[in-house]
C-alpha cells in the first residue's frame, strides 16, 4: 500500500502517472538534399530556420520548397530502431532514417502540438514523420515504408534557438498533464 504524503490518502497503483525525461543519443545533419547524413556531437538550433549546417536550415533539402516550420528538425525514438531490429529483423543505422535527432525515453507522439526543451533550445512538435518514397530512393530499401509507418518520428519547429548536444535532456515544457506523462 502506498500513501500520498500530501493528502494522507491511499494511492491506487493503477492510476500512477509517471513523468518522463529523455536524452539525445544521436545527432545527424546533411549539408544538402540527398547528401549522406553526418553524425555530429552537437549542433546549434536557430529559431525559425533549423539546425546550422543542415539542408533545411540552408533551404537546400528535398522538401525545402514547402514553406513552413515542418522541416526545421526531425526526431526519431531509439526505441523504434530497437523494435525494428528485434521484431522485424531490420537493422537501421540512426542516420539512415534521415532524422536529425535520435532520442531515448521520449514519447515523441506526446509532443505533437506541444513545446519541449532539447538541450538549450525550445522546439514545438508540428507533424508526425511518415516514411516517404524519397527515403526509399536514397536507401534502396522498400521495407522502410511499412516498417516506419506511424513511428517514423516527429517534425519540429525551432521556437527558441540554442545548443543541442549528445546526452542533452529532452523534456516537455509547461503544465504537467496527460501529454507529459507515461502511465501504466
Helices (H), the chain: 78-88, 133-139, 143-148
Which of 63, 47, 67, 50 lies closest to 133, judged by CA?
A: 63
Total domains present in the chain: 1
pLDDT in tens, 93-147: 878 888 999 999 999 999 999 999 999 999 999 998 877 666 677 667 777 777 7
Would residue 27 count as lying in a domain? yes
Look up the domain containing 127 and give its range: 22-172
Regions of the chain short of the pLDDT cut 50:
177-179, 182-184
CATH number at residue 140: 2.40.33.20
Would residue 127 count as lying in a domain? yes
Tell me what pLDDT residue 130 has: 79
Would residue 1 count as lying in a domain? no
**pTM for the predicted model, two decimal places:** 0.81
Does residue 42 contact residue 166 with C-beta atoms inside 8 Å?
Answer: yes
Would residue 11 count as lying in a domain? no
Would residue 2 count as lying in a domain? no
Tell me what pLDDT residue 20 has: 86
Other beta carbons within 10 angstroms of residue 2's beta carbon come to: 10
Tell me what pLDDT residue 42 has: 98
Would residue 29 count as lying in a domain? yes
Report the SS3 class of residue 144.
Answer: helix
Amino acid at each position: 500500500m502506498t500513501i500520498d504524503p500530501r493528502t494522507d490518502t491511499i494511492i491506487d497503483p493503477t492510476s500512477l502517472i509517471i513523468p518522463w525525461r529523455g536524452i539525445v543519443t544521436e545527432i545527424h545533419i546533411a549539408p544538402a538534399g540527398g547528401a549522406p547524413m553526418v553524425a555530429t556531437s552537437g549542433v546549434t538550433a536557430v529559431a525559425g530556420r533549423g539546425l546550422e549546417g543542415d539542408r533545411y536550415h540552408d533551404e537546400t533539402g528535398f522538401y525545402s520548397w514547402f514553406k513552413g516550420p515542418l522541416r526545421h528538425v526531425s526526431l526519431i525514438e531509439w526505441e523504434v530502431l530497437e523494435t525494428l531490429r528485434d521484431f522485424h529483423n531490420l537493422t537501421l543505422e540512426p542516420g539512415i532514417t534521415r532524422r536529425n535527432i535520435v532520442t531515448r525515453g521520449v514519447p515523441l507522439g506526446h509532443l505533437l502540438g506541444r513545446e519541449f526543451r532539447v538541450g538549450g533550445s525550445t522546439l514545438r512538435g508540428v507533424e508526425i514523420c511518415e516514411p516517404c518514397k524519397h527515403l526509399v530512393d536514397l536507401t534502396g530499401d522498400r521495407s522502410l515504408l511499412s516498417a516506419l509507418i506511424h513511428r517514423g518520428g516527429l517534425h519540429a519547429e525551432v521556437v527558441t534557438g540554442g545548443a543541442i548536444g549528445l546526452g542533452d535532456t529532452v523534456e516537455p515544457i509547461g503544465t504537467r498533464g496527460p501529454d507529459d506523462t507515461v502511465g501504466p
